[in-house]
């Protein structure tokens, strides 16, 4: 029986700059999330439309930042970046329009008894 040669495993030392960058990204996302929680618990219920709008904007900011950092779009061609962001704007606009129309329709009394 032939002797099988074990593959060599080389351990690469951690890249401290990449680790530092990941901590920076995590800190930025944590700060935005903490800001969202502060808004959630400090804005009165009467201003729920404003609160929801702030949540939507901050969620889009976090999503864009995650896409830029972890999908490396920050380092890609600007055309690729805008080919993703422009349709996103229209999708968000569509969602806002649907929610607005849904709220408007729920206020209308279709059947009066």
113 — pLDDT class (breaks 50, 70, 90)? very low
pLDDT tens, residue by residue, 95-110: 888 888 887 777 665 5
Domain edges within the chain: 18-106
pLDDT tens, residue by residue, 1-45: 556 778 888 888 888 998 999 999 999 999 999 998 898 888 888
H or E stretch covering 58: helix 48-70
Please give the Cα distance from 86 to 101 (Å, whole number): 23
pTM, 2 dp: 0.57
73 — pLDDT class (breaks 50, 70, 90)? low
Q: Which of 17, 8, 54, 3 is nearest to 32 (CA)?
A: 54
Report percent pLDDT > 90 for the chain.
Answer: 13
Contact 25, 62 (CB under 8 A): no
């Amino acid at each position: 029986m032939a002797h099988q040669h074990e593959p060599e495993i080389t351990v690469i030392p951690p890249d401290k700059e990449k680790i530092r960058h990941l901590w920076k990204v995590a800190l930025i996302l944590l700060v935005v999330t903490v800001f969202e929680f502060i808004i959630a618990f400090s804005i009165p219920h009467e201003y729920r439309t404003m609160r929801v709008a702030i949540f939507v904007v901050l969620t889009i900011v976090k999503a864009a930042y995650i896409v830029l950092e972890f999908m490396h779009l920050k380092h890609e061609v600007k055309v690729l970046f805008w080919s993703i962001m422009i349709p996103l704007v229209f999708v968000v606009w569509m969602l806002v329009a649907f929610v607005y129309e849904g709220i408007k329709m729920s206020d209308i009394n279709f059947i009066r008894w």
